[in-house]
Structures are given as C-alpha cells and as structure tokens.
Amino acid sequence: MYIVLEGIDGAGKSTQINLLKEWLESNGLNVETIVEPTDLEVGKLIRKLLTRSDATTDTMQKTLGLLFAADRLILMDKIEKLESENRVVISDRSFYSSLVYQKPQNWIKEINKYAKIPDLVLLLDLDVKKSVERCEGTDEFENEEFLTGVKQNYLDLARSNENFKIIDANNGPNKVSSDIKKTVAPLFDICKDCIS
C-alpha cells in the first residue's frame, strides 16, 4: 500500500505522517515513511536550488522538474521492495507535487511516467494565508501568489483523480488526524466508529 500526503507548504504533512504512522503501527501494521525531496545527493541539490531568488522562473522550474523526477525515480525501487515486504509506505509528497508546482503539465507527466501511482492521496487543503504564516519563507515558493496557484492546481487534480481524498487542514492537529484516520481505516479493515 502506497499512501501519500500532499498539500502546499506548511499544510501539516510532516505532523500528520508521524501521527498516522503511530496509529497504523498500534493497529499491527508495519509502516515505512519516505519524503520528497529526499536527503540523497539529488534531494540535497534541490533544496539548495529552492532558496535561489530565481527558483520560480520558467527555466529554473523546468530544471527543478527534471531534478525532482530524478530524485523520485531512485525512490521507486525502494517503494517496490517495501511493498513486497508487506509494509505500508507513507510518503510526504509524490509526483503529484511536481504536477502542481512545476509546468508544463504534459512534460511533467512524461518525465514522471515511471513514478508509481499512489493507492491513496490525502490532500491536506490549507488556506494560503495560513501556509505563508506557518512557513519561515526559506524557499522562494513560499509566497501567497505562487501558492494560490498551487492550491488551485491541487484541487483541480483532486477533482479528476479518484485516489484523492481532500482533508480540511485548517482544523487543529487532532481533528485533522481524526479525519485522516477515518479516511484510511476502511483500507485496513480498522473500526472507523472507534476513532474519536
């Protein structure tokens, strides 16, 4: 099972992945978490480029699109192996992030054609103003105008992809976590009504 948390910067992905992992493990499941961009060589280069003032220019966005795709490709064998060992893989981001942050979409789809399609995408939908407030503004993407476009791209994707479930990320951490658990429970035959 390959579950992904998506959402704009500061939506609560890292926070919720930890809570979801703990809960699934308490229900007897083996869970492995991964994150994009990775902390491997390509991921480290990406994080460096994201702080550049020209990060949102067309050329840099295309360069980042290629680097994110390469960083992601390395992960695919790892995900396959983990799934073959009956582990639940929960990822902080996926190729859907490239589809909503980078462009043109057709090219992004092409360079990510070997990326695995997640079984479930939990889209943490957060108000853009809250996102900017929560982020330290370390990377160039963390500005209201850019993130407004990204948020809309996510909602467009959610409308056209069955594997997306939208979670209201404007609530407190516990409510968001409860909504995520209720969404995930049926996938593992976990009692949904037992979730507070």
Task: Give the residue numbers of the binding site for ATP.
Answer: 7-14
Measure the CA–CA gap between 30 and 87, rounded to whole angstroms.
5
- Binds ligand ADP by CB under 6 A, chosen from 9, 36, 71, 125: 9
Site string for ligand TYD, 95-134 (x = CB under 6 A): --xx--xx--------------------------------
- Binds ligand TYD by CB under 6 A, chosen from 6, 36, 125, 179: 36
Q: Is 7 in the site for ligand ADP (CB under 6 A)?
A: yes
Measure the CA–CA gap between 36 and 2, rounded to whole angstroms.
14
Measure the CA–CA gap between 116 and 94, rounded to whole angstroms.
9
Measure the CA–CA gap between 101 and 85, rounded to whole angstroms.
32
Please give the sequence-ordered ranges of beta strands (E in DSSP) within the chain, or none if there are none: 2-6, 31-35, 88-92, 120-125, 164-168
Beta bridge partners of 125: 168
Site string for ligand ADP, 152-181 (x = CB under 6 A): --------------------xx--x-----
Residue ranges in contact with ligand TYD by CB under 6 A: 9-10, 36-37, 50, 68, 92-93, 97-98, 101-102, 135, 139, 141
